[in-house]
Every structure is written in C-alpha cells, then in structure tokens.
Amino acid sequence: MKDLEDQAFNLRDGDRIYLDHNATTPLATELVPLINEWIKAWGNPSSIHCSGRGPKALLRDARKNIADMIGASPQEIVFTAGGSEGNNFLLKGAFEEISKSTGRKTILVSSVEHPSVRDTAKYLETKGAILKWIPVLRDGTLDLDFLQKNLDETVAIVSVMAANNETGVIFPIKKMAPMVRAVGALFHSDFVQALGKFPVDMKKMDVDLASFAGHKFYALKGSGFVFIKRGTQIQPLIHGGGQERHRRAGTENSLAIASLGHMSKRKDEVSAAYVRIAELRNKMEAEIQSRISGVEITAHQALRLPNTSSLLISGIDGESLLINLDVAGISVSTGAACSSGTPEPSPVLLAMGLTRKEAQSSLRLSLGWGTTESEISRFIDVLVEVVARLREAHIVRPLEASL
Ligand SMILES: Cc1ncc(COP(=O)(O)O)c(C=O)c1O
C-alpha cells in the first residue's frame, strides 16, 4: 500500500497539484521500466513467425489479468482504444444485432451518460431506434420507477453507467440487472470511471456489455477493452482483419494493452488505497464547507466514487475559478463543455434539475492514488483565497451571455 502511494503514480509535474484524475491519470511509474522491456516485442501480434510471439504473449497475459480482475473469462474481453470506442462499439453493434433478430427498437439510456453514450444513442435514433432517456433526480440518483415502468418486450438495450464522471454517483447496476433481464433486453454499462475505484465483478453485476479505459487506471492512453458476455451477439464497429476473434479489426496496441494488463494485477491494492482517498476527500469537503460560505456538494447523500467531489460555489463562475486555480498551479475541472467559444453548463448537472446558473458555478475535484494531505491543504488555502477574490470582484459570468 505504502509502495503504491510512494511511487505515487506521479510522474510529477513540478509542484503542480493534480486534482483531475477522472479526466485522466498519470502513468504508474512502475510501468516505465516495464515499457522499456515490452518495446522490444515490437512485432505484429498476428504474425505467425517468431517476431509475433513476444507481442502475442503480451496480449495473452494482459487478457488473462484483465479477465481475472473483472471476474470474466479471457474470451469475453475485446481490446479497444478506450472508452469512447468501447461505448460506440457495444451500443451500435448490439443494437444492430438485437433489432434485426427480435424487432426490438427501444433503447433506454440514462440522461447523465458520457457523450460517447449519449451521442451514440442519438445516432441510433437516426437508424430507427426509439430513444427514451431515464431521468435522474436532484440528488443524482436514477429514477428507477421510470425504468421499471418503461421496461417491456420492445426494449432492445438499457444503458446505465456504473459511476458518473462528474458527480461520482454510483448507480445500482446489480439491482437493475434482473429488472432488465426479466424483459429479455440487453444491459450495457459504461464502467470507465469504476475501474480501479471499486471492485468490479462482471458475474455479480450481471451486465451483458461493459466498457473500460486504461488511461483512467494509470495505464497508457490508447488502451481499453470491452466485456461481452459469452453468447451475446454483436456486430463489429471496425471491419477488416480477424483480430480479436473478428470482433475488432486492426493491429492491437500491444504496448498500451500490456500496461493495462499489468495494472489489472494491482486490483486489491487499489481497493485498499481508496479507503485512504475517501477519507481525504471527505475531510476536504468538510473543510471547504467550513471555510467557504455557500458551497453545496452535489449528490452529497448519494453513494459516490471515493475520489470525486462536485461542488457548487454560489456567486462564482466555474470557468473563472478553474483558470485562476490553473494559474496558481492546480489542475481541476468543471463539467462545462465548450462549444463555439461559450462554455455550456454541464448537461449532467442540468439533467439533475440544476439551473444554468447553478451548473455554471460547478467545480469537479477528483483525487488519485498519489494525492497527499499536504496537497489538499495547500489546495484549500488557494481555493479560499481565489473564491474570496472572485466574489469581491463579482466575477460571475453574465447569464445572458450564454443563453
Ligand atoms: C464515464 C466515461 N465514459 C467514457 C469516457 C470516454 O473514455 P475515453 O476518453 O477513453 O474515450 C469517459 C472519459 O472521460 C468517461 O468518463
């Protein structure tokens, strides 16, 4: 455990305090010498000759470690380049199959999904799907009554993420699985934010399809995988060679996949580390609320990821706060998506029923394995000072500018 914190998964960027681990994590430093070794296996894993053996072995070991980590069998794992590809692949590929074979057209998707699910669902609508958004309540939890009422024999797929990237809310996948199964629909879940933050077991969760990304788990970017439950029919997204048992064409990114496979062996330490991170997060929230007035913690009462904190700070524009913290050497995030130069308030927060003004005052903090107590106390000191300064200067984005 100490070892895990020490090597701290920090290829540190000077004194910068990095509180944006839900966007991406630093590379685990233990991977650096391993990657130097793996680079020597530069052949094509599909080659039959000798040069293919090394990379093939990397893929085989990674597949086994990943399958063990999530309680799956190696045949149920398909490598991808990350979470967005995984979500596109699973939703498009499964909808095509199930709608053709059963005539089912309805897809039920939670309204707080990552854009790679939301936009794929909208795309499927143009291909004949009947799309229904499952609402969330103001406390961030899913409207299970809506789900229950809308589950019938016309439903092809239900897609609900395991944990939300902005609020950290953990959704009750295990509870929903039998509801979905009872009507014969497929259950897809985006597990990108769950990996490494709580134990994941596909058998217990009982989903048919799940997507994962390596770069939220201290592995190299460009690595990811999907879980496809044995027997589930799915069309490939990428056509071509026969890699991944004809489910994902293209030469595998063996180096990045090996890094993800290696991190998968650390799952027990990961769970232990998150006990400390949850304590640190809780302490941080309590101190922020005691030192700054008008701070609301989004989804405070809901079951949340141990590392995530989404704050609403009244009278403050989240973007201005982010920029000021950046200048002070602290990396954080808001849920806003920048389109045509105007930051749009987070669709996730709007879906929870927050006003645009409230959503514009949001700040997301996501801690990681390397985050220390002293970093958090330095961060809070800076936050207190910046919020006071912005409030004094009345730096609140004029609402009309973004209407
Ligand atoms: C919940 C969730 N799903 C999917 C993605 C997309 O993953 P990737 O960036 O690997 O494509 C993200 C990335 O932030 C995410 O948080």
Quick one: average pLDDT of 291-311?
A: 97
List, for residues 18-77, the tens digit of each pLDDT value.
Answer: 999 999 999 999 999 999 999 999 999 999 999 999 999 999 999 999 999 999 999 999
Residue 397 — very low, low, confident or very high, per pLDDT cuts 50/70/90? low
Residue 344: per-residue pLDDT:
84
What pLDDT sits at residue 135?
98
Report the number of secondary-structure helices (H) and strands (E) in the chain. 15, 14
Ligand 1 pocket: which of 166, 216, 310 to mutate (most atoms within 8 A of CB): 216
Q: Are 23 and 333 in contact (CB under 8 A)?
A: yes
What is the value of pTM for the model shown? 0.94
Looking at ligand 1, which atom is closest to the CA of residue 221?
A: 10
The phi, psi pair for 248, rounded to 5°, reads: -155, 100
Q: In this prediction, what percent of the chain has a pLDDT beyond 90?
A: 87
Cα(219) to centroid(ligand 1), Å = 14
Instruction: Enumerate residues lining ligand 1, CB below 6 A.
Output: 82-84, 114, 116, 161, 165, 190, 192-193, 213, 215, 224
Segment 253-265 mean pLDDT: 97
Residue 290 CB burial class (10 angstroms; 0-12, 13-18, ≥19): exposed
How far does residue 384's CA lie from ligand 1's centre (Å)?
A: 31
| DSSP code for 216 | G
pLDDT digits (tens, 9 = 90+) for 210-256: 999 999 999 999 999 999 999 999 999 999 999 999 999 999 999 99
Supply 141's token pair: 């939890």
Partners of 363 in beta bridges: 311
- In testing the pocket of ligand 1, which one of 193, 197, 200 has its CB within 8 Å of the most ligand atoms? 193
Q: What would the pLDDT profile of 317-362 be if each residue is shown by its tens digit?
A: 999 999 999 999 999 999 766 544 557 899 999 999 999 999 999 9
For the cut 60, the answer to whether the pLDDT of residue 99 exceeds it is yes
pLDDT for the residue 342: 56
- Hey, which residues are catalytic here? 338
CA 87 to chain centre: 11
Tokens of 24: 């991406």
pLDDT digits (tens, 9 = 90+) for 169-181: 999 999 999 999 9
CA of 114 from ligand 1 middle (Å) equals 7
- Please tell me the predicted confidence (pLDDT) of residue 337: 61
Ligand 1 center to residue 83 CA distance, Å? 5
- 6-16 tens-digit pLDDT: 555 556 778 89
Q: Give me the residues paired with residue 107 across strands.
A: 131, 157
> At 224, which helix (H) or strand (E)?
strand 224-228
* 326 or 266, higher pLDDT: 326
